[in-house]
Structure 1
Amino acid sequence: MKYIFLHGLGQTASSWDKTISCIGEKENIICPNLFELLQKKEVTYANLYEAFSEYCKNFSEPFAICGLSLGGVLALHYSIENPDKVKAAVLIGTQYKIPKGLLKLQNIVFHIMPQRMFDTIGLAKKDAVNLSKSMMDLDFRQELQELKCPFLVICGEKDKANKKASSELAGILPHAELKIIQNAGHEVNIDAPEKLGEVLKAFLIGLLEL
């Protein structure tokens, strides 16, 4: 079985490297660089989701999907629209209804940050702001209870902005487990890659036994 790992907005595919080294299964784990999937299209959530959906057509068999933050939103959205393709999903620091106040605050921070901070992820500052704005109205509350595959919901202990939503998400999804990663903030794959790797490995091994 293939495992697709999706990074967050301020990350790249390489942000998963240390976590994956702790899991093993490297030959089965795929980490696309999300913004490269857009192929110069306007950087909006709708375009990114469409590009990711097209990318997933490369896989004929059902796969597991793991996403952090933006990647988690994409993973949740894809799981809702393609239940036959998703064997299981892991959602890390993921909101199921985008909090507009938090997103507006994030955009204020983006405006203040210099462009060089965005160069490392291959995204212009204006595109990061545009992407955030395009996510304002995302709300998956109505579809959550229809999801039948296993979910693992993960949040960093110090990720105050997403801890409540993670707990709620795990409670609403019919087949979900919640894991809090100690001494980690929002970027769990950066803050605690070894611990995250252990948790993901146990979950992925469980999938093989289903």
Structure 2
Amino acid sequence: MAYVTTDDGVKLYYEEAGSGVPVVFVHEFAGDWRSWEPQLRHFARLYRCITYSARGFLPSDVPENPEQYSQNRARDDIRSILDGLGIEKAHIVGLSMGGFATVHFGFTYPERVLSLTVGGCGYGAEPDKRDQFAEEVEIAAKRFDDLPMEESGGSYALGPTRVQFLNNDPRGWAEFRDQLVEHSALGSANTMRGVQKRRPSLYDLVDEMATISAPTLIITGDEDWPCLEPSILMKKVIPTSALAVIPNAGHTINIETPHEFNRLLQEFLHKVDVGAWKPRDPRAMASGILGTK
């Protein structure tokens, strides 16, 4: 088994496939390194693909101290993967929790980025949802504390933005659920409290996101309600970004709608690789509606 070690001594398990320009995939809370299998099978034909389990997600280390989990740690763990594999720059692709880490990595370490893909990103970001999100995160963390993973993870897999996956692809959803209940309960609870609950809102990071100069693709499902408005915010704020919305899709878009996700990502990466991705024309942000002002 292959591991890299972070600067605070946590071992992160990773796998890679393919060769060429590197692409690092960063998973969501309900996933792990296995969550990107449809992408590795497709993109390893074209790229050097790396997927890893975040701290707290087996077979990576599961630190007992909740203080070893944070948004900054999640961001810097991407850097640890690059450093451990001797990679100077990479395309970074993240979903949900991994999408937040990808955004933070983009404005903190721009010199390490070829492009950013931010999928399903926005849970708890809207200003009027912050208290509700923190309350629900604590309830979920306590369920991971108190209940078997079969029960706590199984119910998490049936959230309001997960049932689309169940309806669109019952076999795929069952595999997703079975992998989720194999997670560490301690790691899940610590990640909920250390990363999810305490991360800053995207609406408080407007200035930082506006500095992102790397080509950026934002992808969301049209029934991933907590991510729709935040995705539009990122589209407005990041001058090098494009927004794609996948119809009749929920949160877990890379495995719920893998063909569409892969198509969008491949077109994006190709444009970046050949130098055809351009920043937004500033005239598109004029305050007028019809161009009369």
Q: TM-score under structure 1 normalisation?
A: 0.87
Consecutive unaligned residues in structure 2, runs of 5 or more: 1-20, 154-179, 276-293
The worse-fitting range, judged by mean Cα deviation, of 118-127 and 58-67 is: 118-127
State the 1:97 CA deviation.
7.8
Match for residue 135 of structure 1?
Answer: 199
Q: Aligned to 2:242, what secondary structure does the other structure show?
A: strand
Q: Aligned to 1:87, what secondary structure does the other structure show?
A: strand
Change (3 A) 1:140 1:63: same
State the 1:8 CA deviation.
0.3
Letter in 2 for 1:130: R
Match for residue 16 of structure 2?
Answer: none
Per-residue Cα deviation, 1:167-197 (whole angstroms, up to 9, x for no partner): 1101110110000011210111121111111
Number of residue pairs aligned between Structure 1 and Structure 2: 210
Match for residue 65 of structure 1?
Answer: 92
Give yes or no for contact 1:38–1:47 (8 Å, CA) kept in 2.
no
Letter in 1 for 2:33: A
Q: Aligned to 2:110, what secondary structure does the other structure show?
A: coil
Per-residue Cα deviation, 1:63-122 (whole angstroms, up to 9, x for no partner): 110100110111111111111110110001113983423243233244346331264233
Q: Which residue, out of 267, 272, 281, partners 1:202?
A: 267
Q: Which residue, out of 23, 45, 50, partners 1:25?
A: 45
Q: Mapping of 1:65-144 within 5 angstroms? A: 65-95=92-122, 98-99=125-126, 100=130, 101-112=132-143, 114-116=147-149, 117=153, 119-124=181-186, 125-131=188-194, 132-135=196-199, 139-144=204-209
Q: Mapping of 1:38-53 within 5 angstroms? A: 40=63, 42-43=65-66, 44-45=69-70, 46-53=72-79
Letter in 2 for 1:133: K
Q: Aligned to 1:148, what secondary structure does the other structure show?
A: coil
Change (3 A) 1:198 1:83: same
State the 1:154 CA deviation.
0.4
Q: Percent of pairs identical after alignment?
A: 20
Consecutive unaligned residues in structure 1, runs of 5 or more: none
Change (3 A) 1:38 1:82: farther
State the 1:47 CA deviation.
3.3
* Counterparts of 1:102 and 1:164, CA distance in 2: 15
Structure 1 residue 160 corresponds to structure 2 residue 225: yes
Q: TM-score under structure 2 normalisation?
A: 0.64
* Counterparts of 1:30 and 1:144, CA distance in 2: 25
State the 1:49 CA deviation.
3.1
Q: Which residue, out of 81, 90, 100, partners 1:55?
A: 81
Give yes or no for contact 1:155–1:162 (8 Å, CA) kept in 2.
yes
Higher RCO (CA < 8 A, seq sep 6+): 1
State the 1:40 CA deviation.
2.7
The worse-fitting range, judged by mean Cα deviation, of 5-14 and 57-66 is: 57-66
Give yes or no for contact 2:75–2:102 (8 Å, CA) kept in 1.
no
Q: Aligned to 2:218, what secondary structure does the other structure show?
A: strand
Q: Which residue, out of 250, 253, 256, partners 1:191?
A: 256
* Counterparts of 1:96 and 1:204, CA distance in 2: 26
Q: Mapping of 1:167-186 within 5 angstroms? A: 167-186=232-251
Q: Aligned to 2:116, what secondary structure does the other structure show?
A: strand
